[in-house]
Amino acid sequence: MKSPVVIAIDGTSASGKSTNAKLVARALGFIYVDTGAMYRTLAWHCLQKRVDVQDPKAVAAACRKWKTSLRCVDNQVRLHTDGYFPEKEIRTGEVSAAVPHVAAVPKVREWMKKTQRECIRFGNLVMEGRDIGTNVFPETDFKYYLDARLEERSRRRAAEGVRENLAARDQRDSQRAVAPLMIALGAHVINNSEMTAEQTSSAIIADLRQRLAASK
């Protein structure tokens, strides 16, 4: 029996990872995994429990103790904590500001990598994040890295009603000690500054179908 296929879509903030990963997963009938939502869920959990997100030891302790489960609902994997998935709560500005601090903690990334690799039990995956092709599933042959000009990404964030310093976020993501944001070896890089989500996903799907056919 062949192992499930993992499609890794990494990239900078507001480069269209989520939108395109969903479109690709839907087109291929794969399971969609938003790893950023997992980090956001932990950040939300820490804020709920009044854990200082700028204290790595406190965050690591919270990650070690929280009760979680992976569930696949409507072809999407979600990380529940105490049986609950805070779908709307994790998209607030407060959680967005806390995420980079939580994500930089080595013990958190270790826990997340283990948990994210467990998603393979649900079948073929389209997994998006910042270190999927470099750290979580470096062995996959299907790696994509999305990017766009800073001003275009900032415009997209603003259109979502989110105010975020993307230049600072990029710097933190690329300079953290553990699993920094970087282009994975062998990744297909797509700069979609001038592309719609449909054009970006179509480019990924066309490349994928060609590669999947060649790998059979």
Is residue 185 included in any domain, yes or no?
yes
Is residue 10 included in any domain, yes or no?
yes
Is residue 75 included in any domain, yes or no?
yes
- The domain spanning residue 181 has which CATH number? 3.40.50.300
**SS3 labels along the chain:** CCCCCEEEEEECCCCCHHHHHHHHHHHHCCEEEEHHHHHHHHHHHHHHCCCCCCCHHHHHHHHHHCCEEEEEECCEEEEEECCECCCCHHHCHHHHHHHHHHHCCHHHHHHHHHHHHHHHHHCCEEEEECCHHHHHCCCCCEEEEEECCHHHHHHHHHHCCCCCCHHHHHHHHHHCCCCCCCCCCCCEEEECCCCCHHHHHHHHHHHHHHHHHHHC
- Judged against a pLDDT cut of 60, whether residue 1 lies above it is answered with no
Instruction: State the average pLDDT over residues 10-31.
Output: 95
Under the banding of pLDDT at 50, 70 and 90, the label for residue 193 is: very high
Choose between 168 and 64: higher pLDDT: 64
Q: Which of 19-33, 54-68, 153-167 has the lowest mean pLDDT?
A: 153-167
- pTM metric for this prediction: 0.91
Domain that holds residue 51: 6-210
